[in-house]
């Protein structure tokens, strides 16, 4: 008799789609572990590849992915991706927003204007190089510690040299639509963040009346704590 290996059970598809929006200096591949967990749990998960050249272009890229989703959407943004989901989340197909170590701007605010606030004592801001040809990069020598201190150094060294340049147009464009004013929001604060100070994140979350959790993590929380991030998104997806 030939032994047949048992077939792994597959979770039934849930009636919610999850759209993941990455931030600056990286691409959508950073979501892979979160994608795998949520997909195995039965969610349709879609990943946006933002050009990060202009806010308008990134919102348009996100809108196209929202349109492709089969179900009502939980829209998730990491870092600068929070700017994108705040604008794109106005789409009627989006039911809620999830901010992961992200900017959560109000109308008339840009990344540039938010970054003008003094860095709180004991916290750090992003170690950016001066603009070059209309783009920003993180100082590669400081990237591993600032962006992902709790991620394996072999990964962060590669991330540092493989950065996606961030367009000044994306940095300087002001938000017009503010989805968190009309839709339920959720916020994961990363308490060891050296790119967006935790104090700033807490202020964004409070202003948006977001359901908030804190995690002891670097900015790259989807890489260092993917299961916790996936669980937080799933909780948001199940919230009424």
Give the containing element (helix H, strand E) for 35: helix 32-40
Q: In this structure, is residue 139 part of a structural domain?
A: no
Q: State which residues form the domain around 69.
A: 17-114+164-238
pLDDT score recorded for residue 189: 98
Number of domains in the chain: 1
Separation of alpha carbons 18 and 31, rounded Å: 12
The CATH number of residue 205's host domain is 3.40.50.1820
Which of helix, strand or coil describes residue 91? Answer: coil
CA 170-223-194 angle, to 5 degrees, is 60
Cα(52)–Cα(155) distance, rounded to whole angstroms?
A: 22
Residue 17 is predicted with a pLDDT of 98
Q: Give per-residue pLDDT as tens, 183-198.
A: 999 999 999 999 999 9
Residue 200 resides in a domain: yes
Q: For tokens 């299961």, what's the residue?
A: 227
Is residue 7 one of the residues assigned to a domain?
Answer: no
0.75 exceeded by pTM? yes
Structure confidence by residue, pLDDT tens digits, 24-58 = 999 999 999 999 999 999 999 999 999 999 999 99
Tell me, what's the pLDDT at 58? 98
In degrees, rounded to 5, the angle at the alpha carbon of residue 46 between the alpha carbons of residues 40 and 49 is 135
Q: Are 41 and 35 in contact (CB under 8 A)?
A: no
């Amino acid at each position: 008799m030939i032994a047949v290996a048992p077939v792994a059970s597959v979770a039934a598809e849930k009636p919610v789609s999850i759209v993941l929006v990455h931030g600056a200096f990286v691409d959508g591949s950073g979501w892979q572990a979160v994608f795998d967990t949520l997909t195995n749990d039965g969610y349709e998960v879609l990943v946006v590849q933002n050009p990060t050249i202009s806010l308008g272009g990134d919102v348009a890229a996100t809108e196209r992915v929202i349109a492709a989703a089969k179900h009502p959407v939980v829209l998730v943004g990491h870092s600068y991706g929070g700017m994108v989901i705040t604008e794109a989340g106005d789409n009627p197909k989006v039911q809620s927003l999830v901010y992961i170590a992200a900017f959560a701007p109000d109308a008339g605010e840009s990344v540039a204007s938010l970054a003008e606030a003094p860095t709180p004592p004991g916290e750090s801001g992003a170690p950016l190089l001066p603009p070059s040809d209309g783009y920003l990069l993180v100082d590669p020598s400081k990237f591993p510690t600032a962006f992902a201190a709790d991620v394996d150094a072999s990964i962060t060294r590669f991330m540092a040299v493989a950065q996606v340049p961030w367009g000044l147009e994306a940095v300087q464009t002001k938000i017009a639509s503010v989805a968190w004013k009309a839709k339920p929001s959720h916020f994961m604060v990363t308490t060891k963040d050296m790119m967006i100070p935790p104090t700033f994140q807490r202020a964004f979350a409070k202003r948006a009346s977001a359901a908030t959790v804190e995690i002891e993590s670097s900015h790259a929380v989807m890489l260092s704590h993917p299961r916790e991030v996936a669980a937080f998104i799933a909780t948001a997806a199940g919230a009424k």
